[in-house]
Amino acid sequence: MINEGAPITALPSYVDEDEISLRELALQLWQGRWIIIAMVALCTAALTVAAYSMTRVYRSTTVFVPANAGKSGGGGLSAALGQLGGLASLAGVSVGSGDTDTQEALAVLGSRELTERFITEKNLMPRLYAKIWDATTGQWTVPEKQRPTMAKAVVYFNEIRTVTQDKKTGLITMSIDWSDRVEAAAWANDLLKRTNEEMRTRAITQSEASLGFLDKELKVTTQLGTQEAINRLIEMQIKQRMLANVTAEYSFRVVDKAFPSDEDSPIKPKKRLMILAGPLLGGFLGALWALIAASLRRPSPQ
């Protein structure tokens, strides 16, 4: 029931307050329009200069798959291993899985030993740290304590090199991001080649050591069954050594060789993105500056 005699209390007008607030905000931005325009021009110019002055970085990529050339398997070898037991382990013979061989080869590819040897043989220290190297005198331009060490160079090179593996397809991708597009492609191909050579050398060394051990055991063994099992192991080791000697792509088989990317297609810097970001960044900073300046000019309530 409505009480007709009760006074009617007017509700506060939130809409009017909002309109006033938006009107004041627009007025403050208009008063600071020259600040905004100047900041837009400054940020756009700065990012444009940076985009064209930054060192270009190119990416070269090689794609490869596990070759599994040195993988041992087969019922004959499995039976021989089961029959000989610990003797096969002493000889260094095992039925290795393809995935284990691949992971070992990938570990070698990213190992510090391989990377150090690559940097040393290619004399890459002056290239990696060109800003503090004087090519004319062949000397560093910084004191000895500030000169890069091999450990730092390996860490830096691991940032340049990226290796990823697709578990579904088995494809492995190695990318080299570097300022010289030709060098980037050459490094990627050379690293993969060195990894295959390293794995081939290891397989040959292991096979020869296993053959020497098995040959000695065969000479002192009198049991016919054990002799047959050792002969099967010797046969498999000979096959593995032969594969390692004749197979260049021992651990990894190249699907797509690395080639230099186009000169006008660097991955960094993103020139268009940086230039477009200039007005946006400048507009935001200019508006913020204008609002802060307006609030500072506003008289404090008494």
Give residue 18's Cα distance to chain centre: 52
- Predicted local distance difference test score (pLDDT) of residue 129: 95
User: Over 80: is that where the pLDDT of 268 sits?
Assistant: yes
- Phi, psi at 18, each rounded to 5°: -65, -40
The CB-side HSE value for 236 (13 A sphere, CA atoms) comes to 26
% the chain with pLDDT above 90: 38
Q: In the chain, what are the domain boundaries?
A: 30-54+269-295, 58-256
Q: What CATH architecture applies to the domain 58-256?
A: 2-Layer Sandwich (3.30)
- Confidence at residue 128, expressed as pLDDT on a 0 to 100 scale: 94
Selected residue with higher pLDDT from 189 and 37: 189
Span 143-188, pLDDT tens digits: 999 999 999 999 999 999 999 999 888 899 999 999 999 999 999 9
For 80-124, how does the pLDDT look when each residue is reduced to its tens digit (9 = 90+)?
444 455 555 544 555 455 678 889 999 999 999 999 999 999 999
**Residue corresponding to tokens 């000695």:** 216
Q: Please say whether the dihedral angle defined by the alpha carbons of residues 157, 160, 161 and 166, taken in this order, is positive or negative.
A: positive
Quick one: average pLDDT of 33-51? Answer: 85
Q: Which residues contact 44 (CB under 8 A, 6 or more apart)?
A: 275, 278, 279, 282
pLDDT higher at 81 or 290: 290
Looking at 60-64, 69-73, 124-128, 203-207, which range is the least confident one? 69-73
Q: Report whether pLDDT(74) > 50.
A: no
User: Exposed, middle or buried: residue 6 (CB in 10 Å: 0-12, 13-18, 19+)?
Assistant: exposed
Q: Where are the alpha helices (DSSP H) in the chain?
A: 14-31, 33-53, 75-84, 86-91, 98-109, 112-122, 125-128, 150-160, 181-220, 224-246, 271-297
Alpha-carbon span 243 to 248, nearest angstrom: 9
Angle (nearest 5°) at CA 260 between 257 and 266: 125
Could you tell me if residue 63 is left (phi over 0), alpha (psi between -120 and 50 degrees) or otherwise beta?
Answer: beta
Q: What is the pLDDT of residue 301?
A: 55
Tokens 């490869």 map to which residue?
Answer: 64
- Residue 256, pLDDT above cutoff 80: yes
Place of tokens 């691991």: 158
Q: So what's the pLDDT on residue 121?
A: 95
Q: Is 22 exposed, middle or buried (0-12, 13-18, 19+ CB in 10 A)?
A: exposed
* Mean of per-residue pLDDT scores for the chain: 82
The whole model's pTM is what? 0.72
Q: By C-alpha distance, which of 233, 240, 242, 251 is closest to 90?
A: 233
Whether residue 53 is predicted with pLDDT greater than 50 in this model: the reply is: yes
